[in-house]
Amino acid sequence: MPKPLPDLTELDNAQLIEHYGATMLALRERGIVRSGNNPIADIAERIVATYVGGALAEPNEKSFDVRSADDKTLQVKGLRRTQSNRTTLSALRSLAFDELAVVVFEIDMTVVEGVFVPVSVVEELMGWSNTWQANRVSLTKKFLADDRVVRVPAEQLLTTLR
């Protein structure tokens, strides 16, 4: 049974911000995140690297984020459901990878699932955004229902991370 989360309602605004800072520092010291930026991408990359038995790419690698144990390159995206209908991933500026891996989080950062998609399927199902000047992918019902998309439950995805 998981431990209960701390009751943050007792903290004032300044203390809550300090708590966030301390949490970010601890995540960085443990190697879960690699930068001081929004941690969702770093956390998603760490989850995928651990799941596939791979290694994180160098921070300046533009085309992929993880190289798996079997030498596949994975572009990793994290999707935090800040709204129930949120499905669009951040822009895909390159398609020079073997597989797209998406870690879906609830608003409280609970992992929902992992989604793994070969780049050939991404190319077929993606759209172009004139606003972003980049390719975009949305995890729509149609996209997720495609037989070539592999969905991994949170329990299986996180087994090796604990």
Residue 132 within a domain:
yes
Whether 58 is covered by a domain: the verdict is: yes
Counting Cα atoms < 13 Å in the Cβ hemisphere of 61 gives 18
Residue 6 pLDDT class (50, 70, 90 cuts) = confident
| Structural domain span for residue 50 | 38-158
In a domain? residue 14:
no
In a domain, 17, yes or no: no
CATH of the domain at 144: 3.40.600.30
**The Cα angle at residue 112 between residues 110 and 113, in degrees rounded to 5:** 135
What integer pLDDT is reported at residue 159 of this predicted model?
83
Q: Tell me: the pLDDT tens digits for 86-113? A: 999 999 999 999 999 999 999 888 999 9
pLDDT at residue 84, as a whole number: 84
What confidence tier does 35 reach under pLDDT thresholds 50, 70, 90?
confident
Q: How far is CA 57 from CA 102, 115, 116, in A?
A: 16, 19, 18
Question: Residue 80 falls within a domain, yes or no?
Answer: yes
- Write out the two tokens for 6: 């701390």
Q: Is residue 42 part of a domain?
A: yes
Tally of structural domains, the chain: 1
Per-residue pLDDT band for 162 (boundaries 50, 70, 90) equals: low
